A and B are shown apart, each in its own frame.
Chain A
Amino acid sequence: MWNKKWLALAALIVVASMLISACEPEVVTVETIVEKEVEVEVEKVVTATPEAAAEAATGGEADVYRIGIYEDPKTLNYWNYLGPGSSVWTAYVVNGYAANLYSLSDQRFDFVPSLAKELVQPVKEGDTWVYTVPMVETATWSDGEAIDAYDVVFTHNACKDLKLTQNWPSNCRPNGVEGIEAAVIDDYTVQYIFPVEPSLATWNAGIALAAILPEHFWKGQVEEAYGFIEGVEMPEAERPEDCDAEDLDDAGKAACEAWTVYDEAFENARKTLYEADPTGSPAYGGFTTDKFEPGAFVQRTKNDNYFFKGATISEYDDGTWMVEFPTGETRQLFGDASGEKTLEYVSGPHAPNVLLSIYGSQDAAFLAMQNGEVDYVIAPTGVSRGLREKAQTSGDIKTYVNADYGMYYVAFNMRKSPMDDFAFRQAIDIIVDKEFVVNKVLQGTVFPMYSTMPPGNGYWHNPDVPTPYKDFTRAERVAEAIKVLKEAGWNWTQEPEWSDDQQDVIPGEGLTMPNGEAMPEITILGPGPAYDPLRATFNQWISEWAREMGMPIKSELTGFNNMLDPVFVSADFDMYILGWSLGNVAFPDYYESFWHSRNDTATTGNFNTPGFKNDEYDAMIDEFMSTTDLDVAREKIFAAQVMLAEQRPYIPLFYKQVYDLARSNVQFPYTEVLGGIQNENAMQTDTIPLAQ
């Protein structure tokens, strides 16, 4: 009898203790949120001073810089990495393997020379435009072999001749320009010959940044790949649209066979190169990858031959960019260094080794950082608030906050009614109270966005994009939306109205479109709260406000994969909410991808999902893509932002901040950078891990 009582008591104690242990930490962390957030804001600028860097460089550095990642790299073969093996995690592991003639500067993303000696201009020669690029003569691969013009031409030709795929085309046929030739003038001078006038899109954001790989290492594998396409001619007959069609005639069948042989030859060539063994491949950058234990870690070792090793990189507020090499040689661009110094650091590599530990999940990686097993965790998908708070409780972890180079938006399918109606899109824009959702509902975790260019990209962001409804009250929004719709011919059987007594909207009923038909039911597709609570929240608020206006709009929260087909393949949707990470900060060519009519998803499968078609916009973006003048390009993007804000194929909703968490022993060369430290050029090579 007593036993049973004791057991019952013990059982209660066990259950209670489980509940307490499960619940208690949540309560405690809620208390610390505000304090930690405030601390974060204060301590976010931890730019390494020259003194600190020098001090660290002379002693106290750790032997290994330990970074946590969540997934295995897909490949260590750089050819494969820019092809089908591309992934964000692979990027961190093969970082620095390829050399470049030019690159983008730290923090400001200016176009600056890397292995090229200087910035060059094209010269028109007959029907072609020629860039002659002098290269530095002292740069070597990690194995000591010189990096020369032969490497540049070798990589360019392999990309072009083997029709390398996915990310490669932007390295040898940027923006779809075919027939760009590369030629060796002498060991350290390379020439690029363009069949059309080059532009910022094809040179600054294309060929000039192209990957260069070592010919002496890869020659054998590339020749083997060439073996598959030797003697293979492109079929003269046009490629039939459907080789499975039953009514295909003999000529069609012959054409299909010829194209199959042709395609298979290139496929085999590419496959040979993509699966080539990269063991021992020399690198250009700060580290070589020496060891990869799948599922466990990647070990990278310092490359003492790195061209920029020991160089001091400085930037000034007058725009000057300067590199002072240990040899005394100096490069200086964009100014006379008369202003205040905004950045200075000594280029690495500093740590003898970088160890990228692979964890199965974000939780496991951050737990490891809290435990001191890693110095920094790369979190491209963001760090949840809970994890940030938990990690900060260790007291030895710093949080760095930066603006994200991304955009979250709601898009309209302008191929369908009523989304093709300007007034409808305008009315939706008016009733969407971004400030309310961001500040009140989401508690300021994100920021309202008004232009299609995130404000963090200061050079391209147009601060004068009109925001006419920004400060509207709820009542004003409802009144303005009613006015806009009525002027366009929309009607209600019972008009919505703002009630001062109830401080709420009395919903409208019987909404009809200008053609007199009742407004059809519309769905806003969007990711569910498990995938992204922010977008799910916006989705529900937008549909709620629309319903108040009498619009039969409903939210459909679903998985991201479920959205791929209706949004990006068949373009069969009404409205959707998603986000973009916007890529190249220095040249925002997404204005062409997302809104130029030649990229209409419905007809081309490309990324103009709304089906936005505006001749004026197309002409503006064509000019942007073809100009060689940065000022002209900027002017066009400024104008494009205004036009998109007016036409509203997208309504930008919000942008996020990026949180980077690192242990305090890690000294980054700088911490203020668009997109966060994880996107920083220098995140591995120029970072100094101090001994703990």
Chain B
Amino acid sequence: MWKFLGKRLIQMLFTLLLFQAVTYFLIDAQPGDIADLLAHDPSIPPGERDRLRAELGLDRPPVERFVKYIGNFYTGNLGVSFNEYPRQVTDIIKERLPRTLVLFFTASIVSFWAGFMSGKILAWRRGSFVEYASTIVGVTLYTVFTPWFALMMIWLFSVQLGWLPAGKFLSPEVWITAPASANAIFSRLIGTGFVGLTVMLAGFIISNKVTRKIRVPLRVASIIVPLSGALLYWTLNGLGVWGGDMLQHLVLPVLTVTLIAYGGNMLLTRTSMLETLREDYILTARAKGLPDKVVRDRHAARNALLPVWTGLVFSIGRSISGGIITETIFSWPGLGLTLLNASLVADIPVAMGTLTVIAILTLVSHLVADIGYAFLDPRIRY
């Protein structure tokens, strides 16, 4: 396993380097550069465009610039943004990556869980009205045009019903009096969520090891305790209003992304389950007289999980690039929106930084998927 990991890490490093080279030269080959855009104003004196180009290093040959960029990158210096000069690219990524990850990680987990659970049940109840209806809903959600769907969600939940904010990740009027920055409070929210989920997960894992008598109370407790703890924490720290405001803003984009991702997860699980249910070992399990739930959950669903797991892990890697549309429509200032804006104005350092984050997430996702296979399927060994 360690040997496998070592090999994979070296492969990943080479892949990343190749990716960076290709993307750097592609971005650089775009017509026009940021100096043309920033100095495209007759009131800016002659010569400023050249001076700006020299100051940003754009007067050097692309290969020389790339070598310098890579040298800096692997020593932790991603450079300064051309468009938000002289802001560090690492600061921009640090500010926006968590927002994107929280949005898409939450949506991915929820849609994975909901899609997997409903997919396996629908496959088990094949031919029922619920299965047909759910399949249509799933196909609709899977194929729906994302911008239209997102706007419809805003129209329904915000404009018509007035239940949820139309966009952004906070309400400015609420935040005028906030004692801390949005990032500081958002970090606390992430911390709370992480601790809460860890406690819940630990509770559920432990509950599988104990007797049936205390299993249910333990599971209930592992939900109630972190939730109460989180509520208590946010009530006592005096930041609850702002944390709540952010959560409220998170609901609609998460719901939208979840619904879009849910269709794919549900359909994939259903199809995978239907194939698994035709296997001989399922017939054997039934012939042995095992209860339906055991056959479905322990024998069929675990084996049907592999492709769905792959989809989940890869979707996290794709979340940034895939989030451009969602982030634009919901005015969610994450890394997807940053990538879009940086690309439009040829802000090479920010575009490269963002694309590199996408590449790293994708490569790590593949690694995690491979490692996950070994846990999910005992036949796979590295």
Q: Do A and B come from one complex?
A: yes
Q: Is the CB of A353 within 8 A of B166?
A: no
Which residues in window 78-95 of B have CB below 8 A to A? 83-87, 95
> Does A368 touch B at the CB level, under 8 Å?
yes
Q: Is the CB of A364 within 8 A of B329?
A: yes
Which residues in window 146-204 of B have CB below 8 A to A? 148, 151-152, 154, 158-159, 166-170, 172-173, 175-176, 181-182
The one of B38, B83, B332 in contact with A360, judged by C-beta atoms closer than 8 angstroms, is B332
Inter-chain contacts of B169 with A (CB < 8 A) = 295-296
Q: Is the CB of A561 within 8 A of B154?
A: no
Inter-chain contacts of B167 with A (CB < 8 A) = 359-360, 364, 367-368
Q: Is the CB of B332 within 8 A of A6?
A: no
Contact digits for B26-54, partner A, Cβ 8 Å, 1 yes 0 no: 00001110001111111111111111101
Given A357-B172, A607-B42, the answer on whether A565 and B32 have CB atoms closer than 8 Å is yes
> Does B25 touch A at the CB level, under 8 Å?
no
Q: Is the CB of B85 within 8 A of A363?
A: no
Q: Is the CB of A166 within 8 A of B36?
A: no
Inter-chain contacts of A3 with B (CB < 8 A) = 128-129, 132
A588 to B41: give the CA distance in the assembly, Å. 13
A275 to B32: give the CA distance in the assembly, Å. 26
Contact digits for B50-61, partner A, Cβ 8 Å, 1 yes 0 no: 111011000000
Question: Which chain A residue shows the least CB distance to B99?
Answer: A295
Given A166-B48, A271-B86, the answer on whether A363 and B329 have CB atoms closer than 8 Å is yes
Inter-chain contacts of A295 with B (CB < 8 A) = 96, 99, 169, 331, 333, 337
Q: Is the CB of A564 within 8 A of B175?
A: no
Q: Is the CB of A584 within 8 A of B168?
A: no
Contact digits for A536-571, partner B, Cβ 8 Å, 1 yes 0 no: 000000000000000000000001011111001100
Given A14-B140, A64-B173, A606-B46, the answer on whether A367 and B154 have CB atoms closer than 8 Å is yes
The one of A297, A367, A584 in contact with B43, judged by C-beta atoms closer than 8 angstroms, is A584
The one of A10, A275, A353 in contact with B86, judged by C-beta atoms closer than 8 angstroms, is A275
A364 to B253: give the CA distance in the assembly, Å. 13
Inter-chain contacts of A568 with B (CB < 8 A) = 36, 40
Q: Is the CB of A296 within 8 A of B182?
A: yes
> Does A471 touch B at the CB level, under 8 Å?
no
Which residues in window 320-356 of B have CB below 8 A to A? 327-333, 337, 341, 346
Q: Is the CB of A360 within 8 A of B328?
A: yes
Q: Is the CB of A299 within 8 A of B42?
A: no
> Does A29 touch B at the CB level, under 8 Å?
no
Q: Is the CB of A565 within 8 A of B36?
A: yes
The one of B37, B52, B54, B159 in contact with A367, judged by C-beta atoms closer than 8 angstroms, is B159
Interface size on B, residues (CB 8 A): 63
The one of B49, B140, B166 in contact with A368, judged by C-beta atoms closer than 8 angstroms, is B166
Question: Which chain A residue shows the least CB distance to B171?
Answer: A373
Given A271-B86, A565-B32, the answer on whether A297 and B172 have CB atoms closer than 8 Å is yes
> Does A291 touch B at the CB level, under 8 Å?
yes
The one of A72, A74, A299 in contact with B172, judged by C-beta atoms closer than 8 angstroms, is A299
> Does A170 touch B at the CB level, under 8 Å?
yes
Inter-chain contacts of B175 with A (CB < 8 A) = 293, 296-297
Given A360-B332, A605-B49, A605-B50, the answer on whether A371 and B36 have CB atoms closer than 8 Å is no
Given A7-B133, A293-B170, A360-B332, the answer on whether A166 and B152 have CB atoms closer than 8 Å is no
Q: Is the CB of A359 within 8 A of B173?
A: no
Inter-chain contacts of A605 with B (CB < 8 A) = 46-47, 49-50
Inter-chain contacts of B176 with A (CB < 8 A) = 64, 291, 299, 353, 355
Q: Is the CB of B148 within 8 A of A22?
A: yes
The one of A86, A371, A604 in contact with B159, judged by C-beta atoms closer than 8 angstroms, is A371
Q: Is the CB of B30 within 8 A of A561?
A: yes
> Does A189 touch B at the CB level, under 8 Å?
no
A22 to B55: give the CA distance in the assembly, Å. 49
B330 smallest CB distance to A (angstroms): 7
> Does A165 touch B at the CB level, under 8 Å?
yes
Q: Is the CB of A296 within 8 A of B132?
A: no
> Does B294 touch A at the CB level, under 8 Å?
no
A11 to B140: give the CA distance in the assembly, Å. 9
Q: Is the CB of A170 within 8 A of B43?
A: yes
A75 to B81: give the CA distance in the assembly, Å. 12
Given A74-B84, A367-B154, the answer on whether A565 and B129 have CB atoms closer than 8 Å is no
Q: Is the CB of B51 within 8 A of A165?
A: yes
> Does A638 touch B at the CB level, under 8 Å?
no
Contact digits for A113-127, partner B, Cβ 8 Å, 1 yes 0 no: 000000000000000
Inter-chain contacts of A569 with B (CB < 8 A) = 36
A569 to B49: give the CA distance in the assembly, Å. 10
Inter-chain contacts of B36 with A (CB < 8 A) = 564-565, 568-569
A72 to B168: give the CA distance in the assembly, Å. 13
Q: Is the CB of B83 within 8 A of A74?
A: yes
> Does B231 touch A at the CB level, under 8 Å?
no
A273 smallest CB distance to B (angstroms): 10
Q: Is the CB of A565 within 8 A of B327?
A: no
> Does B136 touch A at the CB level, under 8 Å?
yes
Q: Is the CB of B31 within 8 A of A565?
A: yes
Q: Is the CB of A590 within 8 A of B42?
A: yes
Name, among B96, B151, B330, B331, the residue most crowded by chain A CB atoms within 10 Å (CB to CB): B331
Q: Is the CB of A360 within 8 A of B31?
A: no
Name, among A271, A359, A594, the residue most crowded by chain B CB atoms within 10 Å (CB to CB): A359
Question: Which chain A residue shows the least CB distance to B47?
Answer: A605
The one of B42, B54, B132 in contact with A583, judged by C-beta atoms closer than 8 angstroms, is B42
B223 smallest CB distance to A (angstroms): 32
A271 to B85: give the CA distance in the assembly, Å. 9
Inter-chain contacts of A562 with B (CB < 8 A) = 31-32
Of all A-B residue pairs in the complex, the 8 with the closest CB atoms, nearest first, are A295-B333, A593-B42, A564-B32, A297-B172, A360-B331, A561-B32, A84-B85, A7-B132
Q: Pull 20 A–B residue pairs with CB atoms less than 8 Å apart, ordered by A.
A: A7-B133, A10-B136, A71-B341, A85-B85, A167-B43, A275-B86, A293-B172, A293-B175, A293-B181, A363-B329, A364-B328, A364-B330, A371-B166, A559-B31, A561-B32, A562-B31, A565-B31, A583-B43, A593-B42, A594-B42
Q: Can you add 8 more A-B contacts, CB < 8 Å, to A22-B148, A66-B173, A607-B42? A: A7-B133, A72-B84, A165-B48, A169-B45, A364-B330, A561-B30, A563-B32, A593-B42
- A-binding residues in B (CB < 8 A): 30-32, 36-52, 54-55, 83-87, 95-96, 99, 128-129, 132-133, 136, 140, 148, 151-152, 154, 158-159, 166-170, 172-173, 175-176, 181-182, 327-333, 337, 341, 346
- B-binding residues in A (CB < 8 A): 3-4, 6-7, 10-11, 14, 21-22, 64, 66, 71-72, 74-75, 80, 84-86, 165-167, 169-170, 173, 176, 263, 267, 271, 274-275, 291, 293-297, 299, 353, 355, 357-361, 363-364, 367-368, 370-371, 373, 559, 561-565, 568-569, 580, 583-584, 589-590, 593-594, 599, 604-607
